[in-house]
Amino acid sequence: MGQTGRQLVLRDAYRGTQAQVIRNTGLLLPIFAMVDASRRHTDLMQHPAGVFAVVCGSAGVGYMLAWPLETLKNLAQTATPHAGASVAQRVRYLGGFKGLYRGVWPGTVCGGFRNACAMLVMDYAQQWATFMGLRDE
């Protein structure tokens, strides 16, 4: 709330939770599905460059699909245009459906790159954990 210049009220701590859950589902399902399909049907996930490409691409697609939900979640959490506004009121506030995609390109590129880098680090950490005998092969 501080980012929008509003007072934080404890009863508003969970405002937008429903929108957050829907957004996370819309973001993660395509990512997991595409990574799983790549593991099952290609050998791309066996090489660092392939891991980076698959995760970056699937995260990018996930962000593109979930971006309108992200925008609506942000509006719900900040009570914009007002607390309890309907989806139609929020879309109208944004200037129409095109407003749902404001900022999509930087967010998609950043999200894809960030997730691909994190996957490479996680893969490397798992290899070390296996090497040290901390997990089964």
| 51 is a domain residue | yes
The residues, ordered by sequence, that sit 6+ positions from 118 with a Cβ below 8 Å of its Cβ are: none
64 lies in a domain? yes
pLDDT of 38-60, one tens digit each? 999 999 999 999 999 999 999 99
Give the total number of structural domains in the chain.
1
For residue 26, name the pLDDT band (cuts at 50, 70, 90).
Answer: confident
Q: Are 71 and 99 in contact (CB under 8 A)?
A: yes
72-103 per-position pLDDT tens digit: 988 888 888 998 899 999 999 999 999 999 99
Q: Is 136 part of any domain?
A: no
Whether residue 137 is contained in a domain is answered as no
What is the structure's pLDDT at 83? 85
Domain carrying residue 52: 2-131
